[in-house]
Amino acid sequence: TAFLHGDLKDDVYMLQPPGFIDPLFSSHVCKLQKSLYGLKHAPRTWFEKLFRALHDLGFHQSSSDASLLVLHNLQQVIVLVYVDDML
C-alpha cells in the first residue's frame, strides 16, 4: 500500500475502469490525484515522499547509496530503503 501514498508531479490520465464507466460520459478519462499500483511513477513518487519526510526529521542521505539515510543524534539511526518492484 505504500505506493498509493506517492504524490504525482505530472498530470496522469487513465481510462475509466471496467464496472465504473459513466454511461453518460463513456469517452471521458480520469485524472489521477494519487499514484496507483502498476503506475510506472509509483515506486519513485513513494520514495520521494518518504525521503522528504525523513529529511524533515533530520536524516541525511548517504553519498554511497541513495536509499541509505542516517540520523546522527544522541544515537545513530540508520534506515535502508528497499523497494521490491521492477517494470
- Give the pLDDT confidence of 18-75 residue by residue, as tens digits: 999 999 999 999 999 888 888 888 888 888 899 999 999 999 999 999 899 999 988 9
Range of the domain at 74: 2-80
Tracing cell 453518460 back to the chain, one arrives at 24
Q: Where are the alpha helices (DSSP H) in the chain?
A: 42-56
pLDDT (0 to 100) of residue 87: 43
pTM of model > 0.85:
no
The whole-angstrom separation of Cα 76 and Cα 59 is 10
What is the β-pairing status of strands 60-61 and 68-72? antiparallel
Name the domain count of the chain. Answer: 1
Identify whether 86 is part of a domain: no
